[in-house]
Each structure stands twice: as structure tokens, then as C-alpha cells.
């Protein structure tokens, strides 16, 4: 399985067909995402796609259109089925150039009760990268679909985050969503501030679709701009209880079209019902700026 190298001016990337994952995205010698080795598993990568939905479904079960569905856990460490099939699948290289690649992935409904085709287009430009993700329902019935990305961002001692959100969902045991509340001061990033020095694993409603991560030591900032379809955002900061090797050197900011456990929320939490043949798509733009 060959890793794909892309470049556009000072921007370079390494892309793995395994999981459709970005292994590296750099501006010269400055990493814009958490760097990973060529053989890294998707969960240890810089960024991977979430398709045909992200996060967890409570109890690994949901009902839709009069049909009950049961899922099976897809990792050894989580009792819930996690993040869809895209990040655990081998993507085919459909097209590529010096600065872009088109990856494709299909699922026929065995491990997950979805049949779909997914495409991910990754294109570099001299000041960043443009990501596009789409999913088409190839099943015989309508189903609720969602999309997202799981980028890991470097965290230096002086790193700050600026973004705007609505309500935050609390976390319950099993890494499941609890209920919506106003974000506490430590998780209100209206104005730039550091990430909290503790575990964070929360979803946010009414995301503005933009975020700015600043690394003053590196005189670099990264702006994330997502299409309006990505109306939710998830923030993750690990700790040594979850990951004994964690050195507070990265965090995750995940653009999502829907809330966690949307399948079991009355309004589907932002999931989009696709009839057979219909497609859901969205883009994420990453732009390098001076700090």
C-alpha cells in the first residue's frame, strides 16, 4: 500500500489509502496537523474521515422507519461502534496529481446496515488544503447519514483556540453525550484561549463553521472553514488516564454534520435522510496564517 505525497508551494502532505487518512500536512517545517509515520494506524494519523456518520450510537442500536438496527463494536477498547466504516477501510485511489488526490470507498452493508459509496478529495494550495467528502446511499431504503473529519492539531504550551458555538453537550460514562448546557468559561472560545489542562470530550451545537488555532512559538496559525452543513463540532483533549503516553501535545477539533447519538434523538441530531441514490457532501478548508 503506497503512501501518496502531495505538494503545492511550501505545503506538503502524506496521504494513506488505509482509512483515507492524512498522515502529515506541513507548511515548510511547521506541522499543521499532528504528524504520523507512514505506517501509522488511522487512529494515530493526522486526520481521518467520518462516514457514513461519526461518533457513537447509544447501546449500539437505533430504530428508523419502523426497522430496528443493531451494531457491533468495531474496536477492541470501546464497547460502542465508533465513527463509521471509512476510517477502518482501504480507500482506492481514483485520481491523483502533484497537488491533489481523489479517494473512493464503498461499503455493502455487512458490518454496518448501510450500503454507500464515499469519495474524499484532498487538494493542496500554496497556503493550505481543501478537503471534500461525500456519501451516496446505494441501499434499497432511505437511511440517516452524516459526515465529518477527525483532525488532530498540534498543541504547544502557548497554543490558543478561537471559535464560536452554541450549547455544549455534557459527557456521560461510556463517552456518550448527556444533555445540552451553556459552555463553561473554560470551553467558551469566543475569544482566543488555551485548551483546558484536563480531559475534554464534548460536542457543540450551532458551530460557526470556523476555528483559528494559533501557535505563537511557531509564528503560525491555522484557520479551519467548513461548509454550513457542518453545524456541529466536537472537541477532544486526552489525558494520561485514557492514554498513558499522552504528553499534552495534541487535541482534536472535529467538524461534524450531526450530534453524537443523533440516530436516537427526536430530530436525528442533524443527520440527513438520504433516499437511494441521494448524496450528502461538504468541504473543509485549512488556511495557513501568520500568528
Residue-range domain boundaries for the chain: 4-290
Q: What is the pTM of this model?
A: 0.95
The pLDDT assigned to 71 comes to 87
167 alpha carbon, distance to own chain's centre: 19
pLDDT tens for 15-57 read 999 999 999 999 999 999 999 999 999 999 999 999 999 998 8
Fold of 4-290: Beta-galactosidase; Chain A, domain 5 (2.70.98)
The pLDDT assigned to 111 comes to 65
pLDDT tens for 259-270 read 999 999 989 999
Q: Return the C-alpha cell found at 129.
A: 488544503
Where does the pLDDT of residue 86 fall: very low under 50, low under 70, confident under 90, or very high at 90 and above? very high
E strands in 81-140: 92-96, 100-108, 115-125, 128-137
Q: Return the C-alpha cell found at 29.
A: 517545517
Q: Return the C-alpha cell found at 125.
A: 494550495
pLDDT tens for 187-233 read 999 999 999 999 999 999 999 999 999 999 999 999 999 999 999 99
CA trace torsion 22, 27, 30, 35 (10° rounding): 10
36 closest CA partner among 51, 47, 52, 20 = 47
Amino acid at each position: 500500500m503506497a503512501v501518496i505525497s502531495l505538494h503545492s508551494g511550501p505545503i506538503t502532505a502524506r496521504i494513506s489509502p488505509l482509512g483515507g487518512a492524512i498522515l502529515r500536512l506541513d507548511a515548510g517545517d511547521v506541522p499543521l496537523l499532528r504528524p504520523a509515520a507512514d505506517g501509522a494506524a488511522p487512529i494515530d494519523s493526522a486526520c481521518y474521515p467520518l462516514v457514513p456518520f461519526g461518533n457513537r450510537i447509544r447501546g449500539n442500536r437505533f430504530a428508523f422507519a419502523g426497522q430496528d438496527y443493531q451494531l457491533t463494536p468495531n474496536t477492541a477498547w470501546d464497547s460502542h461502534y465508533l465513527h463509521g466504516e471509512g476510517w477502518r477501510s482501504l480507500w482506492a485511489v481514483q485520481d491523483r496529481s502533484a497537488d491533489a488526490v481523489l479517494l473512493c470507498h464503498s461499503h455493502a452493508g455487512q458490518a454496518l446496515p448501510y450500503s454507500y459509496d464515499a469519495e474524499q478529495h484532498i487538494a493542496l494550495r500554496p497556503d493550505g488544503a481543501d478537503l471534500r467528502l461525500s456519501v451516496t446511499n446505494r441501499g434499497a431504503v432511505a437511511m440517516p447519514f452524516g459526515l465529518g473529519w477527525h483532525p488532530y492539531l498540534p498543541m504547544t504550551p502557548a497554543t490558543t483556540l478561537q471559535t464560536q458555538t452554541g450549547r455544549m453537550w455534557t459527557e456521560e460514562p461510556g463517552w456518550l453525550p448527556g444533555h445540552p448546557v451553556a459552555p463553561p468559561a473554560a470551553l467558551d472560545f469566543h475569544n482566543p484561549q488555551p485548551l483546558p489542562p484536563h480531559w475534554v470530550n464534548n460536542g457543540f451545537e450551532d458551530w460557526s463553521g470556523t476555528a483559528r488555532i494559533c501557535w505563537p512559538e511557531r509564528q503560525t496559525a491555522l484557520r479551519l472553514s467548513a461548509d454550513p452543513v457542518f453545524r456541529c463540532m466536537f472537541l477532544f483533549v486526552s489525558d494520561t488516564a485514557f492514554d498513558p503516553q499522552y504528553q499534552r501535545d495534541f487535541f482534536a477539533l472535529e467538524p461534524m454534520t450531526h450530534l453524537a447519538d443523533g440516530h436516537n434523538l427526536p430530530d436525528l441530531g442533524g443527520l440527513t435522510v438520504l433516499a437511494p441514490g441521494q448524496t450528502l457532501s461538504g468541504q473543509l478548508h485549512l488556511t495557513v496564517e501568520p500568528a
